[in-house]
Chains A and B, each alone.
Chain A
């Protein structure tokens, strides 16, 4: 029983990680109809930015975390400005290969700069264990869950209430009509990329004290997050978040009870099963964030 609870909490942490990455991916697809294969690399770069600020510069955890998130948000903005803008009007083939190429370039640059040795960033909370009735878990996991709830609530508020969020929702419905009524569509796309990159970086800041940072951490993460996006119903942010938690918990339980070695395959098994039963995804509907 304690095992089950522990695994479930681990699954929730994993789910929170996937959800933060998948939410950005779904947001991008919703607003500009583009799949960013380099999304996991935002997480990877966020992790290294955090490692540098926290371990090398010795900044306190919250400051280093906010700095990393801010830096990646600027990086997402610059990425939209340079790469994405040139491919937005092109076919999806070109978009997909261009973002895949970006992902390869960033991963291998990270190997050249940081080396293949994983970087560890333990915090005080990641080694402090909370024990409640036989269930043992690191405080950092509670931090992850708490922060994830805050972040998703913030995202929900932003998309529903703020002016930019409304513009995003409008653009996800009809880009041309937005341009006609005077929405600055380029500004909205820039904001979407900045926010999505910041979400991925926030995930890295929260989770890397538990897991290590290494150059190709992004590849598998993009895939799993994308599996969550497909499972949840394409381009639907809430669906992607829910599916991420489903995948996280399934993966954790499968790693505990079935086989640890094959845990990375779980996300795809879930995705394939869901697609066979419901091709439009669990919460499938037409596109719109």
Chain B
């Protein structure tokens, strides 16, 4: 029964471009565009939740890793003309290495200080992206970023990008599931729930925190690559702190540390503003208030509320 449902859901997701074309031919392009953003945001939110939901480190540096990957891919693609798979790998490696390097001083900090320190790092990365004009072109933006291509096979149409996004979120989802479920996942949760006890059981907290932080950062870098290759333009504003706020809303609304919760949160929060068509400033006001209410009233998110209700009945 469960397997059948999963198969149907997967089939619907894969066939979405045709379904959209059949149901709403007029707005097909727009709907696909929203779906691509949803898949990329969902993958990014999952990579973020690896750090905050599973090892319990409230990192606010995620836009920085996303941005480092995005800039690496954008500059390698336009200036150096590297082929897409190579620049994707380079972007993942660059974001992962920076996460490792910044993790060393940051993990000396705990709790709030870690959050603030990582937020500071995110601000520094944005300052560099804006001001190092010779390298990043600053506010002039990197333009003409090539579409993904493997040899002669190019991903240039909207459905192709949609499948790429779907593949990305599936891969990240499987990776997320694999990392957080088995032995490694239990170690992550031990570190999150009781650091002292974990250390006493020979689980080195720093090692696991660092592992989740670096993997999360590297994945964010890869998603940054996909993002810029889809959009084609990269400006320093993409790295802004507001991205962290969006991610926090997605993760906390859906349910911290839960694959399904984060996916639901990401889908709701990419699609909802498109449907409601609000001015961005109003949207941020509403996001802020929503985040405040959700985190106070339902700290484990809508997913947690539903779970409790299901187990109560």
Contacts and interface: CB of A to CB of B under 8 A. Distances in A.
Contact of B281 (A35, A83, A108, A226): A108
Contacts of A97: 58, 248, 252, 291, 295
Interface in A205-246: 219-220, 223, 226-227, 230, 234
A93 B241 CA distance: 18
Number of chain B interface residues as a range: 35 or more
A161 interface: no
A268 B288 contact: no
A272 B241 CA distance: 20
Contact of B288 (A108, A223, A264, A279): A108
Given A101-B289, A275-B108, A276-B105, A220 B58 contact: no
Contact of A98 (B123, B284, B287, B296): B296
A91 B115 CA distance: 14
A219 B241 contact: yes
Contact of A92 (B111, B124, B288, B296): B111
Nearest to B241: A219
A96 B112 contact: yes
A277 to B, nearest CB: 10
Contacts, number: 111
Contacts of A90: 296, 299
Given A104-B245, A105-B285, A275-B108, A230 B117 contact: yes
Q: Is the interface of B mostly helix, strand, loop or mixed?
A: helix
Interface in A84-104: 86-87, 90-94, 96-98, 100-104
B127 interface: yes
A104 B289 CA distance: 9
A16 interface: no
B256 to A, nearest CB: 8
B299 A101 contact: no
Contact of B116 (A106, A223, A259): A223
A265 interface: yes
Q: Is the interface of A mostly helix, strand, loop or mixed?
A: helix
Interface in A8-64: 35
A111 interface: yes
B285 A112 contact: yes
B282 interface: yes
B131 A268 contact: no
Interface string B175-191: 00000000000000000
A219 B122 CA distance: 12
Contacts of A234: 113
A92 B291 CA distance: 15
Contacts of B248: 97, 100
Nearest to A260: B131
A271 interface: yes
A35 B299 contact: no
B128 A105 contact: no
B232 interface: no
Given A262-B128, A275-B105, A102 B292 contact: yes
A143 B187 CA distance: 56
B116 A226 contact: yes
Contact of A105 (B105, B131, B288): B288
A10 to B, nearest CB: 20
A168 interface: no
Nearest to A276: B105
B289 A268 contact: no
B119 interface: yes
Contacts of B117: 230, 268, 271-272, 275
A219 B242 CA distance: 11
Given A97-B248, A111-B281, A83 B292 contact: yes
A109 interface: yes
B112 A94 contact: no
A267 interface: yes
A286 to B, nearest CB: 14
Nearest to B282: A112
Contacts of A279: 108
Contacts of A220: 123
Contacts of B130: 261
A118 B296 CA distance: 33
B25 interface: no
7 contacts: A112-B285, A223-B119, A227-B116, A227-B120, A230-B113, A268-B123, A269-B124
Top 7 A-B residue pairs of the complex, sorted by shortest distance between their CB atoms: A105-B288, A104-B288, A261-B131, A101-B291, A101-B292, A268-B120, A108-B284
Interface of A: 35, 83, 86-87, 90-94, 96-98, 100-109, 111-112, 219-220, 223, 226-227, 230, 234, 259, 261-262, 264-265, 267-269, 271-272, 275-276, 279
